[in-house]
Structure 1
Amino acid sequence: MDIFESLNSVLVDLFNDILNIEERALITEEFKDISVTDMHIIEAIGIEEPRTMSTISKSLGVTMGTLTVGINGLVKKGYVIRKRGEKDRRIVYASLTDKGIAAYRHHENFHKDMIGHITKDLTKEEAEVLTKTFIRLEDFFHQIP
Structure 2
Amino acid sequence: MRNYYIEINEYLYKLIKNTIFYDRNGILLNGVVLSITDILVLKALGDDKEKKMYEIIDDLGLDRNTFATIINKLLQQQFIIKTKSKRDKRVQILSLTEKGQEAFCEISDKEKKILFSLLNDFSFNEEKAILKFLVKLDMLHKEKSKEQEEMQ
Q: Is the 8 A contact 1:82 1:92 kept in 2?
A: yes
Q: Is the 8 A contact 2:22 2:35 kept in 1?
A: no
**CA deviations over 1:13-53 (Å, ceiling 9, x no partner):** 11112343578883245223x33322221112225331111
Structure 1, 110-119 or 54-63: larger mean CA deviation: 110-119
Output aligned runs, 1:7-86, within 5 Å: 7-20=8-21, 26-28=27-29, 30-32=31-33, 34-86=34-86
Partner of 1:134: 134
CA drift of 1:71 comes to 1.1
Q: Find the residue that maps to 1:86 and give its secondary structure.
A: coil
Q: Is the 8 A contact 1:27 1:36 kept in 2?
A: no
Q: 1:9 to 1:56 in 2, by over 3 A?
A: same
Q: Taking every aligned residue pair, what percent have the same amino acid on both sides?
A: 21
Structure 1, 80-89 or 115-124: larger mean CA deviation: 115-124
Q: Whole-Å Cα distance in 2 between the matches of residues 23 and 100 of structure 1?
A: 21
Q: 1:22 to 1:110 in 2, by over 3 A?
A: farther
TM-score by length of 2: 0.80
Instruction: Tell me which stretches of 4 or more aligned residues in structure 1 moved more than 6 Å.
Output: 22-25
Q: Find the residue that maps to 1:143 and give its secondary structure.
A: helix
Q: Provide the alpha-carbon RMSD of the alignment.
A: 2.5
> For this pair of structures, how many residues does the alignment match?
144
Higher relative contact order (CA 8 A, sep 6+): 1
Structure 1 runs not aligned, ≥5 long: none
Structure 2 runs not aligned, ≥5 long: none
Q: Find the residue that maps to 2:94 and give its secondary structure.
A: strand
Partner of 1:6: 7
